Amino acid sequence: MLTKYALQAGFLERATTIEGTEMFFESEVAREFLDACDQNDLALAGISAFVFAEPELTPQPDLAAHDPAQEEKTWRGYRDLCNQSARYFLEHLPVREGLVVSLSIRSREDWHRPKKK
């Protein structure tokens, strides 16, 4: 099993662009990243879309999905619902020139941490 950090490091070279610590992927690579999350017991908990026209990233607020499984009581339920939702979202992204996505992943350990108020 890879940690979320090792998984991200493995996809670093496949990022379309990087801004700070955030990586942006074309949808095909994002789907492969999601498959890797499934294989490594990780949840893809958030997706934000942008249009990349070098050197700028323009947010696409109509194309975002974040933490769809907040109410799930078990890690497995949370992970499965997040990843199913992410898969649906990625499969239905519109075709736009320069469209890339930023992905937010959570591990079981992240999920068990108390939420800040």
**Quick check: 54 and 112 in contact, CB under 8 A?**
no
pLDDT at 27: 94
CA separation for the pair 81, 43 (Å, rounded): 9
- Per residue in 53-110, pLDDT (tens digit) is 988 999 999 999 888 777 888 999 999 999 999 999 999 999 889 999 999 999 999 8
24 Rama sector, left if φ>0, alpha if ψ -120 to 50, beta otherwise? beta
**CA-based nearest residue to 96, from 56, 50, 57, 30:** 50
Q: Where are the domains of the chain?
A: 4-108
pLDDT at 6: 95
- Per residue in 11-32, pLDDT (tens digit) is 999 999 888 889 999 999 999 9
Provide the token pair at 96. Answer: 């736009």
**Quick check: 46 and 67 in contact, CB under 8 A?**
yes
- Which CATH fold would you assign to the domain 4-108? Ribulose 1,5 Bisphosphate Carboxylase/Oxygenase (3.30.190)
Is the entire prediction scored with pTM above 0.75?
yes
